[in-house]
A and B are shown apart, each in its own frame.
Chain A
Amino acid sequence: MIYSALRDLVRTKLGQPDLDPTELDLFCDGGRHELESRGQYYFNAGLKDHTLVSGEGNYSLTSTPSGPNASAANGFNLTSYKEHRSLFIRDVAGTAWLGLPIGSWQSGLDMLPTTSAKPQMAVVENETLWFVPTPNAAYPVKLLHWNWSANPAAGTSTDEILTRWYMALLYAACWVGRKYITQDPNAGKDFEELMLEQVELMKEFTNRRMREPVNKISTSEAATILQASGGEK
């Protein structure tokens, strides 16, 4: 289904064929957000290769440079970054990828040395990824993460949700629209229930497609899988 077909169906289901396009896009964007705020799906998965900068401990996840020692090579530039999954690191001249635990500031500060070294863990603070200790070399890292997706800019375009899970987005957009139009938080319960059914289907399929353990796997197990597959996802 192309995006304009979904927009036509939302107008029809809401009984508002002359719905303002700005409001219509608001409903469709809001519907997608409702879906993706309820789970992680296979089409949100991403892998980012990056190289750390010696002497720089914090990295913006969403833009390029950040932090007091920011360089142009600093940020991960994941503009649609949602959440992290797993993190891996290898020595500069090495080939083996090792899982790098992503922990809390408490555990990070406890093991914070006074000198730079190979990072032993990472901490995510909002949109910043901290490596502890601060790297002393340009270590390659791989960040498995989840992205937010967005409705296509063009009405003639489509994507995975619109191709495989269009009913989920239709119900979600109608639910958002019905609540908006009526200004009643209890409005559109029928659409909400239909949407939640679709969300469960999407979650089940994601677990099958991504082999359930991958979502819950330990970083060391994932590192083994990564190495066995030649270092690429």
Chain B
Amino acid sequence: MIDGYLYKSPTEKKILTVDFSAELPSGDTIATATTGFTITSMAGVTNTSMTGTSAISSALLLITLNADGTDGLDYRVTATAKMTTATTIFDKFFEVRVRTKVKV
């Protein structure tokens, strides 16, 4: 099951906001190390056509998706956050659909 989806065109630069506040224990923070994201095809294969960067803002992981990606492809973005004190690690899965024509 995916945690969310978004559409973007290959020329759009978009921010995917991932909220880990429900997972974050009281008083804990998201650790920089281990926290981040990966982008693969929906089949789990490594992709080279879509890139991005990420930053932590309180309980949010902000993933900036660059103006790239291949029209017609669906990408799986796996956002990972490690809790500093609890050291637990959470993953959230998103589908990014790159389209130039249909945007339903």
User: What residues make up the interface of A, taking CB atoms closer than 8 Å to B?
Assistant: 2-5, 7-9, 11-12, 17-18, 20-21, 153-156
Q: Give bound CA distance, A9 to B1, whole Å.
A: 19
Contacts of A7 in B (CB 8 A): 74
Q: How many A-B residue pairs have CB under 8 A?
A: 40
Minimum-distance CB pairs A-B, first 8: A156-B72, A4-B72, A12-B104, A155-B72, A2-B72, A155-B73, A8-B102, A21-B42
Q: State how many angstroms separate the Cβ of B32 from the closest Cβ of chain A.
A: 30
Are A8 and B42 touching (Cβ within 8 A)?
A: no
Category for how many chain B residues contact A: 10 to 19
Which residues of B are at the interface with A, using a C-beta cutoff of 8 A? 1-2, 4-5, 42-43, 70-74, 95, 97, 99, 101-102, 104
B99 near A20 (CB under 8 angstroms)? no
Contacting residues, chain A, for B72 (C-beta < 8 A): 2-5, 155-156
Q: List 16 A-B contacts (CB under 8 A).
A: A4-B72, A4-B74, A4-B97, A5-B102, A7-B74, A9-B104, A12-B104, A17-B104, A18-B4, A18-B5, A21-B2, A21-B95, A155-B42, A156-B70, A156-B71, A156-B73
Nearest Cβ in chain A — how far from B20, in angstroms? 19
User: CA A148 – CA B95 in complex, angstroms?
Assistant: 29
CB distance from A218 to the nearest CB of B (A): 46
Q: Is there an interface contact between A8 and B104, defined as CB atoms closer than 8 Å?
A: yes
A153 to B, closest residue via Cβ: B43
Chain A residue at smallest Cβ distance from B1: A20
Distance in angstroms between the alpha carbons of A153 and B74 in the assembled complex: 12
Min Cβ gap B27→A in Å is: 33
Given the complex of chains A and B, what is the CA–CA distance between A17 and B103 in angstroms? Answer: 11
Q: Once the chains are docked, how many angstroms separate the CA of A202 from the CA of B13?
A: 43
